Amino acid sequence: MSSKRLVVLLGLAGFIVMADNWVVSPILPAIAHSLGVTSSSAGILIAAYMLPFGLFQLVFGPLADRYGKSRVVLGTLALFTVATALCATGVSLTGLSVYRALTGLFAAATMPISLALIADVVPIANRQQAIGSFMGIAFLGQALSMGIGGAIAYFVDWRGVFIAYAAFSALVTVVLWKGLASVRAGESRDRSERFFTPYLKLLRHGPSMRTYGVILAEGIFLLGSFSYLGAVLAQRYQLSFLAIGGVMTAFGIAAVLAGRMSGGLAAKLGRRNTVVVGLALAALADLLVLAGAPSLFVTAVGIFVLGFGFMTAHSTLLTIATEFAANARGAAMSLVTFCFMLGGAIGTGLGGRLIAAASYGTLYGAYAAGLGLLALAAVPSLAAASAVHAAAGPEQQEEAFIVV
C-alpha cells in the first residue's frame, strides 16, 4: 500500500473518533431535556467518555505491539462503531453514560496505534509529513464536530447524531479492513517483553522523558485553549452552532496545511526549532483571541493560527517520539497520546476555574504566557532531539534515539 493511501485511510478513522470525542458538548442541553435531567447532571457523559479514553491509551499500545497494530485498530474501530450506535438507544442517564464509557474505551486505540502504524510503514525522511497529514485530517473532525453535531441535532434530534456517526464509522471500518489487508499480512508482532516494560524504559530515558513532559505541557495550554473556543464564539458574537462550526473549521484547515508543511520546515530549521516556532505561533494565537473581542475576524484569525501552530509543534513532537521505540512503537505513541490528553484534561479543568473566577480573557492571556514559556523551555528540553536530527542520514537519525 502507498503511504499516502495509508495516511488517508487512517486519517478517516481518526476523523470520526476525534469528531465523536467532542460531539456531546453542543448537544448536551438536548440530551438533558430528553432524559429529564439538568445539563449540569448530564455533564457526567463527558467525564464518562474521557476517563476510559485516557486510561486505555496505555493498554492498547502494548496490545498492538504484541498482536499487530492493524488488527487492534480494526477491532477497536468496529467495537467503537457498535458503542456509538448504542448511544442512540440510551433512555436513561446511567445507561447512556455506560455506552459513552464504552465508546471512549474503544476510541482510545485509534490515534496512537494509527501513528505507530504510520511510523512502521513510512521511512523517517517522509514520516513527519505523513504524520502531519494524518493529524490534520483527524483534527479536522474535532474542529467540525460542534457544527456537525449541532446541525444534526437541530434538523433531526440528538439520537440522530450518534446514528450518523455510527454509520460513517461502519463505512470507514469496512474500507480500512480491505485497505489494510496487505499491511496485516506483513506486520511484525512481539510477545516476548512484559506488558508495561516499554513504558518504564521510555520514562527512564532522559530525552524521551523530557519530550513527554513537553507534550504534557502542550496539552495543558494548547488543548486547554482549544476547548473554550466554541464558548468564546457563542458568548462574544451569539453565533449559532452552525456558525460556530463554520468558524472552527479554520482550525482544521490550518492543521491540514501545517501538517503538509511541517516536514519541510523541520528539514530547514531542525526539529527543536520547529517545535519552538509552533508553540510561539500558538501563543500568538491566544493573544489574538484575547485581543479580538471586538472583532470576529481577528478571533477567527487567532483560531486559524492556533491550528497552524498546534500542528507544526505536535507533528514534530510525534515524529521525534516514533524514534524512541522501533520494536514497541504502539507503547511509545500511546504514551504520547496519554500525556497529551492528560494535559488537555488538566488544561480544560484549570481553564474552567479561570473563567469562573475571572473571564475568558484571563484564560487566553494566561495560556498565551504558558505557551510562550513552554516555547523557551523546549529549547533545552529537546536539545537531544535536535542533535539526532542533525545526523548524517535517515538511518543514523532513527537508530540514535531507539531505547526500546
For residue 309, is it within any domain? yes
Stated pTM of the model: 0.81
Confidence of residue 380 (pLDDT cuts 50, 70, 90): very high
- Strand, helix or coil at 195? coil
Q: Is residue 186 part of a domain?
A: no
pLDDT digits (tens, 9 = 90+) for 383-398: 875 555 444 444 444 4
pLDDT of residue 39: 62
155, part of any domain: yes
How would you label 39-52 residue by residue, b for 16+ Cβ within 10 Å and e otherwise? eeebeebbebbbeb
* Average pLDDT estimate for 230-250: 81
pLDDT at 69 over 50: yes
**Residue 303 predicted with pLDDT over 90:** yes
The gap between the terminal CA atoms of the chain, to the nearest Å, is 27
Q: What is the pLDDT of residue 24?
A: 81
Instruction: Specify if 188 maps to a domain.
Output: no
Task: Read off the C-alpha cell for 358.
Answer: 475571572
pLDDT, one tens digit per residue, over 321-337 is: 888 876 677 888 888 88
Is the separation of the CB atoms in 29 and 152 below 8 Å?
A: no
CATH number for the domain spanning 281: value is 1.20.1250.20
How many angstroms separate the CA atoms of 44 and 177, rounded? 34
Whether 36 is covered by a domain: the verdict is yes
Q: Mean pLDDT of all residues in the chain?
A: 85
**Contact between residue 248 and residue 230 where contact means Cβ atoms under 8 Å apart:** yes
Strongest mean pLDDT among 83-92, 147-156, 353-362: 83-92
Alpha-carbon dihedral sign for residues 215, 374, 137, 269: negative
Mean pLDDT of 184-196: 64
Nearest to 120 by CA among 180, 57, 188, 178: 188
pLDDT for 329 equals 79
Q: Mean pLDDT check: name the lowest of 222-236, 276-290, 317-331.
A: 317-331
pLDDT band for position 232 (cuts 50, 70, 90): confident
Over 80: is that where the pLDDT of 143 sits? no
Has residue 138 got a pLDDT over 80? Answer: yes
pLDDT of the residue at 290: 95
Give the per-residue pLDDT at 392: 40
- How many domains does the chain contain in total? 1
Domain boundaries, position 108: 3-181+194-399
Residue 17 and residue 111 in contact, taking contact as beta carbons nearer than 8 Å: yes
Average pLDDT over residues 159-172: 94
The pLDDT, as a whole number, for residue 239 is 82
288: pLDDT confidence band, cut at 50, 70 and 90?
A: very high
Name the packing angle between helices 241-269 and 296-322 (round to 10°). Answer: 50
Q: What are the contacts of 80-84 at 24+ separation with CB within 8 A?
A: 80/17, 80/20, 80/106, 80/107, 80/110, 80/169, 81/166, 81/169, 81/170, 81/173, 82/166, 84/20, 84/162, 84/165, 84/166, 84/169
Q: Which of 321, 308, 253 is nearest to 279 (CA)?
A: 308
Task: Tell me the angle at which helices 241-269 and 271-291 cross, rounded to the nearest 10 degrees.
Answer: 150
Instruction: Tell me the backbone φ, ψ of residue 104, rounded to 5 degrees.
Output: -65, -40
pLDDT value for 187: 67
Mean pLDDT of 28-56: 80
Q: Residue 172: inside a domain, yes or no?
A: yes
Q: 8-22, 130-144, 176-190, 267-281 — which one is most confidently predicted on average?
A: 267-281
**Residue 399 pLDDT grade (very low, low, confident, very high; cuts 50, 70, 90):** very low
C-alpha grid cell for residue 335?
Answer: 504514551
* Percentage of the chain modeled with pLDDT above 70: 90
| % of the chain exceeding 90 in pLDDT | 35
Q: What is the pLDDT of residue 193?
A: 57
Within-domain flag for 404: no
